[in-house]
Every structure is written in C-alpha cells, then in structure tokens.
Structure 1
C-alpha cells in the first residue's frame, strides 16, 4: 500500500479541525484532500493520538505479514499432502 504524504500528526490535526466544527469541505480544500479521504481517516483514526495511529499501522503491517505467512504455510502443507498421496 502507498504511504501517505501526510504524517500522523497532520492527519490528527485535520481530524481535530472537523471535531472542532469546521466544515468538512473547508478542511478538505485547505488540506488538499478529498472528502472521501477525510471520512476514511475519520472512520479509521478518530479519537486516536499520533502515537496510537503509528501503533495501529505497525499492528496492521504485522498482521498482513502473519496472514501471508499462514497462507504460504497452508499452501506448503497442501502441496506436501498431495505429494504424499501420489507416493502412496
């Protein structure tokens, strides 16, 4: 996935502006983002501090690596079972 050009602190600041009552259209215009991006960030990060946002990203990256590892192991297991079936 592509890295954002916005830091976690910038995202938190943008979301805080929305929480403070500034219109979303104005926030997005100033930040140069789409409203869809704003609402995706809001859904994912609302209420998190920048450090918590970084930790969430680390956990998501670790989870993706573990999912890939499990998928690879499942494929290896399936291939080994197939070889064993053929040799019997």
Structure 2
C-alpha cells in the first residue's frame, strides 16, 4: 500500500483547518489530495492532537520491534543445514 505524502502532524493540521469551518472540498483542493483520503484521515485522526498521534506512533514502533525480536529468536532456534 502506498504511503501518504503527508506526515501525521500535517494531517492533523489539515483536520484542524476543517474544524475551523473550512470546507473539505476547499482543503482537498488547497493541499492537493483526494476527498476519500480526507475522510479516511478524519476517521483515523479526527479529534486527535499532535501529541496523541506521536504516542500512537511510538506504540506502533514498539510493537514492530517486539515482533521482529520474536522472529529473530525463532530463526536462531532453527538448526542450520550444512
């Protein structure tokens, strides 16, 4: 899946503009994004602040590190074929 060209902070800033009574169509035109992207972001990040998004990002990274550590341990237990 393609990653968005916007950071989480930028997305939250765009959503805050929408809360300040700028229409979604105007925001999409101004920032060069599609309507479905805007509404997907609104569902995911709506009502969230920048600090809350950062905390979510940290938890995602911690989960990723834990998963990779488990994978590494499992691979170390497999005997090597010679």
TM above 0.5, yes or no, is yes
| RMSD over equivalenced CA pairs, Å | 2.9
Distance in 1 (alpha carbons) for counterparts of 2:22 and 2:4:
27
SS of 2:48's partner is coil
Q: Any unmatched runs of 5+ in structure 1?
A: 84-88
Q: Any unmatched runs of 5+ in structure 2?
A: none
In the TM superposition, what are the counterparts of 1:1-88 in structure 2 within 5 Å?
4-6=5-7, 8=9, 10-77=10-77, 79-80=78-79
The number of equivalent residue pairs is 80
Q: Could you tell me how far 1:49 is from its partner in structure 2?
A: 0.6
- Alpha carbons of structure 1 residues 16 and 7: separation in structure 2 relative to 1, 3 Å: same
For normalisation by structure 1, the TM-score amounts to 0.64
